[in-house]
Amino acid sequence: MLVGHLCRPRPRRQAPLVRAVRALWTLPTNLLGHLAGWMASGGRLPRRVGGPAAVGWLYPIRSGLGLDWVGAVTLGHAILHRPGVVDGPTTAARLTLAHELAHTRQHDLLGPLYLPLHLLAQGLSALLTRGRPTTVSRVHDLNPLEQTFIVVPSSVLYAPRPTDAEVTDVLADFGV
Protein backbone atom coordinates (compact mmCIF):
# COMPACT_ATOMS: atom_id res chain seq x y z
CA MET A 1 0.00 0.00 0.00
CA LEU A 2 1.12 3.55 -0.66
CA VAL A 3 1.48 5.14 2.76
CA GLY A 4 0.13 8.66 3.08
CA HIS A 5 0.48 10.96 6.05
CA LEU A 6 -2.02 13.19 7.75
CA CYS A 7 -1.16 16.85 7.00
CA ARG A 8 -2.54 20.18 8.14
CA PRO A 9 -4.37 21.75 5.17
CA ARG A 10 -4.00 25.42 4.38
CA PRO A 11 -7.22 27.45 4.73
CA ARG A 12 -9.24 27.70 1.53
CA ARG A 13 -8.50 30.97 -0.24
CA GLN A 14 -11.37 33.44 -0.14
CA ALA A 15 -10.31 36.38 -2.34
CA PRO A 16 -13.25 37.33 -4.62
CA LEU A 17 -11.36 36.60 -7.85
CA VAL A 18 -10.17 33.21 -6.56
CA ARG A 19 -13.71 32.33 -5.51
CA ALA A 20 -15.11 33.31 -8.92
CA VAL A 21 -12.50 31.31 -10.87
CA ARG A 22 -12.94 28.34 -8.53
CA ALA A 23 -16.73 28.40 -8.90
CA LEU A 24 -16.39 28.22 -12.70
CA TRP A 25 -13.59 25.62 -12.67
CA THR A 26 -15.56 23.32 -10.37
CA LEU A 27 -18.98 23.90 -11.93
CA PRO A 28 -19.18 20.87 -14.30
CA THR A 29 -18.31 18.24 -11.68
CA ASN A 30 -20.39 20.03 -9.04
CA LEU A 31 -23.48 19.97 -11.25
CA LEU A 32 -22.99 16.24 -11.80
CA GLY A 33 -22.33 15.61 -8.09
CA HIS A 34 -25.34 17.55 -6.84
CA LEU A 35 -27.59 15.89 -9.41
CA ALA A 36 -26.33 12.44 -8.34
CA GLY A 37 -26.74 13.40 -4.66
CA TRP A 38 -30.22 14.74 -5.18
CA MET A 39 -31.26 11.52 -6.93
CA ALA A 40 -29.53 9.18 -4.46
CA SER A 41 -31.03 10.93 -1.44
CA GLY A 42 -34.54 10.97 -2.85
CA GLY A 43 -34.69 14.70 -3.51
CA ARG A 44 -33.50 15.84 -0.08
CA LEU A 45 -31.71 19.12 0.45
CA PRO A 46 -28.06 18.52 1.36
CA ARG A 47 -26.48 19.55 4.67
CA ARG A 48 -23.49 21.89 4.44
CA VAL A 49 -20.38 20.74 6.29
CA GLY A 50 -16.81 21.98 6.54
CA GLY A 51 -14.46 24.49 8.07
CA PRO A 52 -11.62 26.81 7.04
CA ALA A 53 -10.00 24.12 4.86
CA ALA A 54 -12.96 22.86 2.83
CA VAL A 55 -16.70 22.88 2.26
CA GLY A 56 -18.92 20.01 1.19
CA TRP A 57 -22.58 19.05 0.97
CA LEU A 58 -23.82 15.81 2.52
CA TYR A 59 -26.37 13.64 0.74
CA PRO A 60 -27.41 10.47 2.62
CA ILE A 61 -28.02 7.62 0.16
CA ARG A 62 -31.48 6.16 0.69
CA SER A 63 -31.76 2.41 0.98
CA GLY A 64 -33.29 0.25 -1.72
CA LEU A 65 -31.23 1.70 -4.57
CA GLY A 66 -28.69 -1.13 -4.62
CA LEU A 67 -26.02 1.28 -3.40
CA ASP A 68 -25.58 -0.26 0.04
CA TRP A 69 -21.97 -1.15 -0.85
CA VAL A 70 -21.06 2.55 -1.07
CA GLY A 71 -19.52 3.95 2.12
CA ALA A 72 -18.93 7.50 0.97
CA VAL A 73 -18.06 9.03 -2.39
CA THR A 74 -17.21 12.63 -3.20
CA LEU A 75 -18.30 13.99 -6.58
CA GLY A 76 -17.06 17.56 -6.75
CA HIS A 77 -18.31 19.18 -3.55
CA ALA A 78 -21.19 16.71 -3.13
CA ILE A 79 -20.51 13.92 -0.65
CA LEU A 80 -22.84 10.94 -1.09
CA HIS A 81 -22.76 8.59 1.89
CA ARG A 82 -24.41 5.67 3.58
CA PRO A 83 -26.09 6.95 6.78
CA GLY A 84 -23.69 6.64 9.72
CA VAL A 85 -20.47 6.43 7.70
CA VAL A 86 -19.51 10.12 7.85
CA ASP A 87 -22.17 11.63 10.10
CA GLY A 88 -21.53 9.73 13.32
CA PRO A 89 -19.77 11.03 16.44
CA THR A 90 -16.88 8.54 16.41
CA THR A 91 -13.34 9.57 15.48
CA ALA A 92 -13.46 7.05 12.62
CA ALA A 93 -16.59 8.68 11.15
CA ARG A 94 -15.15 12.18 11.62
CA LEU A 95 -11.86 11.20 9.97
CA THR A 96 -13.80 9.62 7.10
CA LEU A 97 -15.68 12.91 6.66
CA ALA A 98 -12.39 14.85 6.80
CA HIS A 99 -11.04 12.47 4.11
CA GLU A 100 -14.06 13.16 1.89
CA LEU A 101 -13.66 16.91 2.48
CA ALA A 102 -9.99 16.55 1.52
CA HIS A 103 -11.27 15.20 -1.82
CA THR A 104 -13.18 18.46 -2.29
CA ARG A 105 -9.82 20.25 -2.03
CA GLN A 106 -8.49 18.03 -4.82
CA HIS A 107 -11.55 18.97 -6.81
CA ASP A 108 -10.85 22.69 -6.26
CA LEU A 109 -7.49 22.07 -7.91
CA LEU A 110 -8.39 19.51 -10.57
CA GLY A 111 -11.84 20.84 -11.59
CA PRO A 112 -13.12 18.93 -14.63
CA LEU A 113 -10.08 16.62 -14.48
CA TYR A 114 -11.14 15.32 -11.04
CA LEU A 115 -13.40 12.48 -12.19
CA PRO A 116 -11.31 11.20 -15.14
CA LEU A 117 -8.11 11.25 -13.04
CA HIS A 118 -9.84 9.41 -10.19
CA LEU A 119 -11.19 6.75 -12.54
CA LEU A 120 -7.72 6.32 -14.05
CA ALA A 121 -6.00 6.11 -10.65
CA GLN A 122 -8.60 3.66 -9.33
CA GLY A 123 -8.21 1.47 -12.41
CA LEU A 124 -4.42 1.43 -12.11
CA SER A 125 -4.59 0.64 -8.39
CA ALA A 126 -7.04 -2.20 -9.01
CA LEU A 127 -4.77 -3.59 -11.73
CA LEU A 128 -1.60 -3.39 -9.64
CA THR A 129 -3.18 -4.99 -6.56
CA ARG A 130 -4.68 -7.92 -8.46
CA GLY A 131 -4.16 -11.12 -6.50
CA ARG A 132 -2.53 -9.29 -3.60
CA PRO A 133 -3.86 -8.72 -0.09
CA THR A 134 -5.29 -5.24 0.43
CA THR A 135 -5.60 -2.91 3.41
CA VAL A 136 -8.34 -0.43 2.45
CA SER A 137 -9.47 -1.78 -0.94
CA ARG A 138 -8.06 -2.55 -4.38
CA VAL A 139 -9.07 0.84 -5.76
CA HIS A 140 -7.53 2.67 -2.78
CA ASP A 141 -4.29 0.95 -1.81
CA LEU A 142 -2.02 2.02 -4.70
CA ASN A 143 -4.00 5.10 -5.66
CA PRO A 144 -2.00 8.34 -5.13
CA LEU A 145 -5.24 10.41 -5.16
CA GLU A 146 -6.36 8.40 -2.10
CA GLN A 147 -3.07 8.06 -0.25
CA THR A 148 -0.34 10.59 -1.02
CA PHE A 149 -1.83 13.47 -3.05
CA ILE A 150 -4.35 14.22 -0.29
CA VAL A 151 -4.04 15.74 3.21
CA VAL A 152 -6.17 13.04 4.88
CA PRO A 153 -5.22 9.72 3.26
CA SER A 154 -7.75 6.89 3.18
CA SER A 155 -5.14 4.80 5.01
CA VAL A 156 -5.34 7.17 8.02
CA LEU A 157 -7.46 4.69 9.97
CA TYR A 158 -4.88 1.94 9.43
CA ALA A 159 -1.21 2.93 9.54
CA PRO A 160 0.76 4.87 10.53
CA ARG A 161 -1.66 6.04 13.23
CA PRO A 162 -1.41 9.82 13.73
CA THR A 163 -1.28 11.18 17.28
CA ASP A 164 -4.48 12.37 18.97
CA ALA A 165 -3.21 15.98 18.79
CA GLU A 166 -2.64 15.72 15.02
CA VAL A 167 -6.12 14.26 14.54
CA THR A 168 -7.73 16.99 16.67
CA ASP A 169 -5.99 19.76 14.69
CA VAL A 170 -6.98 18.36 11.30
CA LEU A 171 -10.58 17.71 12.36
CA ALA A 172 -10.78 21.37 13.46
CA ASP A 173 -9.34 22.52 10.11
CA PHE A 174 -12.16 20.65 8.39
CA GLY A 175 -14.82 21.72 10.91
CA VAL A 176 -15.90 18.15 11.71
By the criterion CB under 5 A, which residues form the site for Zn ion? 146, 154
Enumerate the β-bridge partners of residue 95: none
Q: How far is the CB of 103 from Zn ion (least distance, A)?
A: 6
SS3 30: helix
Q: How far is the CB of 14 from Zn ion (least distance, A)?
A: 25
Cα separation values, 66 from 72, 82, 140, 158, Å: 14, 11, 22, 28
- CA pair distance 108, 32, nearest whole angstrom: 15
In this complex, which beta carbon is closest to Zn ion, that of residue 30 or of residue 154? 154
In this complex, which beta carbon is closest to Zn ion, that of residue 16 or of residue 69? 69
Q: How far is the CB of 99 from Zn ion (least distance, A)?
A: 6
Q: How far is the CB of 27 from Zn ion (least distance, A)?
A: 22
In this complex, which beta carbon is closest to Zn ion, that of residue 144 or of residue 175? 144
* φ, ψ (nearest 5 deg) of residue 149: -95, 45
In this complex, which beta carbon is closest to Zn ion, that of residue 75 or of residue 165? 75
> Which class for 23: exposed (0-12), middle (13-18), buried (19 or more C-beta within 10 A)?
exposed
